[in-house]
Structure 1
Amino acid sequence: MALTDTFIRHVKHSGAAAGDKHSDGQGMFLLVKKTHKYWRMSYRWLGKQKTLALGVYPEVSLAQARKLRTEAREALAAGIDPSQLKRETKANKVHEAANTFEGLALAWLAMMSHSRSAGTQEKVAAWLKHDLFPYLGKLPVALIKPRDILTVVQKVEARGAIDSAHRIKQVCGQIMRYGVAIGVVERDVTADLRGALISVPRTNFAAITEPKQVAALMRSIYGYNGHFVAVAALKLSPLLFVRPGELRSAEWLEFDLDAAEWRIPAAKMKMKVEHMVPLARQAVEILRELHRVTGHGKFVFPSFRTDDACMSENTINAALRGMGYAKEVIVRLLAGLTLSN
């Protein structure tokens, strides 16, 4: 029996792991899962059973799903695989959208969302929106010249943001190389801008290399009366030699305290390779004590507001300020200890 709008609107997930299928005929069915309702169509192609995704309800209505089913059956009648036709149609739309710099940049940004942090994505999106799109967004990407990009980054330079200007040029280069890969531009024109920008001024922070300086910092940490979780993070920093962000996002499932090991998944590492951190006896003791407080949750250092997120960078910065240190002190401490070994 054919489905109705009323039934689709009110049908609930039964709890089955694979979801519940409700047929509308001619191969199309509604797949009801815990969080979403999916339109699917089963068909045979070259003797094999295949499934075509038609969309998600309610974004795709019953009428729209039936229209997509009709188009898929017409493709089958014409000897065309509907799944292959869908892929080609999507690729053509991406190609057409990428004809402007804005279209290409947004396609590249979406592609990169799976391989880098949300914070980096937000920063790059802001550069695109505020610095690049107002000047380059509507230009046909194939007609963009080195001078067009140089003009934009020099505007960033003019406001004193030298490092951002270099990073924005790098972003433009990544976008253009993506355009080369999908065939909408011939070459990365930013290669012609090498040496055209003001050099980034280098700021050297004095590393903590003297034992007395290290001892003073450690005494400050162990004498700090702040939140227990923040203090534990500060105590562990010089024992683990990891980036502050890697420490803050640590999860209990990554630790084997009996084996004195912390295995950071590849997805969290800059080089995308799993990293094993051996744990000193002092680190294990701190972690065991901390486990009694936060071990019920996912994160070793949970946010003070919710257990669903890790502790923010501001928490550590505030603790350091309370002890009279700048926020870079942990990074400099690690650098100094490395130099002194």
Structure 2
Amino acid sequence: MPLSDTGLRNLKPSDRPYKRFDGGGLFVQVNPSGSKIWHLKYRHLGKEKLISFGPYPVVGLRDARDKRDQAKRQLLEGLDPSAERKLARLKDERDQRVAFGGIAAEYLSKLRSEGRAAQTMKKQEWLVSFTEPELSNRPIATIEAPDILSVLRRIEAKGNYETARRLRSTIGAVFRYAIATGRTRYDPTEALKGALIQPQVSPRAALVNREEIGKLLLKIESFKGQATTKHALMLLAMLAPRPGELRFSIWSEFDLEEAIWRIPAERMKMRRPHRVPLPRQALWHLSELQRLTGNGDFLFPSVRSWKKPQSENTWNVALRRLGYTSRQMTAHGFRATFSTIANESGLWHADAIERALAHVEGNDVRRAYVRGEHWEERVRMAQWWADELDRYEEAAKTH
């Protein structure tokens, strides 16, 4: 007697598995756990075989019958349904290995294995998501420059020119990985150079006028918000780190006796460990900060949970509250402030300034020779810069 949906729903589990047949070899097996699994019993080349169609109700009665009928048609053609399913699965796996989406996933996995920062991986995954669905399921060797340009034009149409430019670069990296692994012969993104709209490059907002820097420091000192935020802004000004490096900093990285902040490689943009000399003024702020957050891991924990750092917008919002627009000053702008004035002073070697900013020399030959940290010079420069900031602040008080 054929099965019905009502009958299927009412089938109860027993101590042992049992079967209920629908016809044509199709049956549902009810297991003691309560699961109901579709199976088809058939014969091929004189041998009895069994193939599973999946669980009920995920695979409904009509779907199970359709699968049975398809299997019967294959048997009429002399094919083994079970073998055909395996072949289809292998084809899907093979297609995935040569599809852009599968290769992109391999490339991202490679980056993770190389220890790329979590934020970097998040951005790369976000960029790759723009290739769906147009490119992800296509064999990579069939993708041409116009196909990629179509995806990039869609992003440009929204005014996201920088995103389109970065996506072209990421797609190119996936193609180069595919070339290296023998799944395509050339990188079509090379043909797109000059085809995209060039985004307007604007320098990061930063104060470089000494009088204005002094006024900013005075405003920070009188900040009425969280005390930790005030200390953060002063440390950004003195140490010129990337905001993320300071925001994620933990107390175990700081040696206040030796006056050194040691940042591990995994938290650095260039994936190299970095040491920061701490001037007297920074040590004072750190000691004050330690009274507030020293019982936890993070120097700047979130107000919601001490297990997480402050939001990335906290410090920029504080600058807005102090009266500075995003075109005047940002948390990242303190680096440009330090770099500009340190270079203009003529007191310090350019390489020492670059090392203080944790920049990596772009020229391979030059990098091979410039290996030192310029540590002693950087210690002197760090104290000079903190003293300079004190002078700017004192001068601002008299105006």
TM-score by length of 1: 0.68
Unaligned runs of 5+ in 2: 1-90, 343-399
CA offsets, 1:74-105, max 9 Å, x none?
Answer: xxxxxxxxxxxxxxxxxx99875331111111
Question: 1:306 Cα deviation (Å)?
Answer: 1.3
SS in 1 for 2:134: helix
Check if 1:214 corresponds to 2:220.
no
* Preserved CA contact (<8 Å) 2:261 2:276: yes
Q: Quote the residue 2:124 is aligned against.
A: 124
SS in 2 for 1:179: helix
* Preserved CA contact (<8 Å) 1:260 1:278: yes
* Preserved CA contact (<8 Å) 1:209 1:333: no
**One-letter amino acid of the structure 1 residue matched with residue 128 of structure 2:** L
Q: Quote the residue 1:186 is aligned against.
A: 185
Q: Quote the residue 1:84 is aligned against.
A: none
Q: In the aligned structure 1, how far is the partner of 2:205 from the partner of 2:239?
A: 21
Q: Quote the residue 2:239 is aligned against.
A: 240
SS in 2 for 1:198: coil
CA offsets, 1:38-96, max 9 Å, x none?
Answer: xxxxxxxxxxxxxxxxxxxxxxxxxxxxxxxxxxxxxxxxxxxxxxxxxxxxxx99875
Q: In the aligned structure 2, how far is the partner of 1:183 from the partner of 1:227?
A: 56
**One-letter amino acid of the structure 1 residue matched with residue 172 of structure 2:** G
Check if 1:332 corresponds to 2:333.
yes
**One-letter amino acid of the structure 1 residue matched with residue 134 of structure 2:** Y
Matches within 5 A, 1:253-268: 253-268=252-267
Q: How many pairs were matched up?
A: 249
Q: In the aligned structure 2, how far is the partner of 1:336 from the partner of 1:288?
A: 25
Q: Quote the residue 1:283 is aligned against.
A: 282
Q: Which segment drifts farther, 268-277 or 112-121?
A: 112-121
**One-letter amino acid of the structure 1 residue matched with residue 180 of structure 2:** A
Identity across matched positions, percent: 37
Q: Quote the residue 1:310 is aligned against.
A: 309
Q: In the aligned structure 2, how far is the partner of 1:119 from the partner of 1:330?
A: 18
Question: 1:219 Cα deviation (Å)?
Answer: 0.4
* Preserved CA contact (<8 Å) 1:294 1:300: yes
Question: 1:140 Cα deviation (Å)?
Answer: 0.7
**One-letter amino acid of the structure 1 residue matched with residue 262 of structure 2:** R
* Preserved CA contact (<8 Å) 1:256 1:262: yes
Q: In the aligned structure 1, how far is the partner of 2:309 from the partner of 2:92?
A: 39
Q: Which segment drifts farther, 92-101 or 234-243?
A: 92-101
TM-score by length of 2: 0.59
* Preserved CA contact (<8 Å) 2:268 2:274: yes
Q: In the aligned structure 2, how far is the partner of 1:205 from the partner of 1:246?
A: 18
Q: Which segment drifts farther, 243-252 or 205-214?
A: 205-214
Q: CA RMSD in A?
A: 2.1
Question: 1:285 Cα deviation (Å)?
Answer: 0.8
Q: In the aligned structure 1, how far is the partner of 2:297 from the partner of 2:324?
A: 30
Q: In the aligned structure 2, how far is the partner of 1:319 from the partner of 1:218?
A: 13
CA offsets, 1:231-286, max 9 Å, x none?
Answer: 11011111111101111011111111000000111111122111110001000111
* Preserved CA contact (<8 Å) 2:316 2:331: no
Q: Which segment drifts farther, 104-113 or 289-298?
A: 104-113
Q: In the aligned structure 2, how far is the partner of 1:326 from the partner of 1:117?
A: 30
**One-letter amino acid of the structure 2 residue matched with residue 299 of structure 1:** F
Q: In the aligned structure 2, how far is the partner of 1:305 from the partner of 1:98?
A: 44
* Preserved CA contact (<8 Å) 2:259 2:277: yes
SS in 2 for 1:329: coil
**One-letter amino acid of the structure 1 residue matched with residue 99 of structure 2:** T
Matches within 5 A, 1:121-200: 121-129=121-129, 131-200=130-199
Question: 1:151 Cα deviation (Å)?
Answer: 1.7
Q: In the aligned structure 1, how far is the partner of 2:309 from the partner of 2:163?
A: 28
Q: In the aligned structure 1, how far is the partner of 2:306 from the partner of 2:94?
A: 42
Q: In the aligned structure 2, how far is the partner of 1:138 from the partner of 1:97?
A: 7
**One-letter amino acid of the structure 2 residue matched with residue 336 of structure 1:** T
Unaligned runs of 5+ in 1: 1-91
Q: In the aligned structure 1, how far is the partner of 2:204 from the partner of 2:260?
A: 31
Q: In the aligned structure 2, how far is the partner of 1:95 from the partner of 1:299?
A: 47
Q: Which segment drifts farther, 94-103 or 211-220?
A: 94-103
* Preserved CA contact (<8 Å) 1:266 1:275: yes
Q: Quote the residue 2:294 is aligned against.
A: 295
Q: In the aligned structure 1, how far is the partner of 2:333 from the partner of 2:251?
A: 27
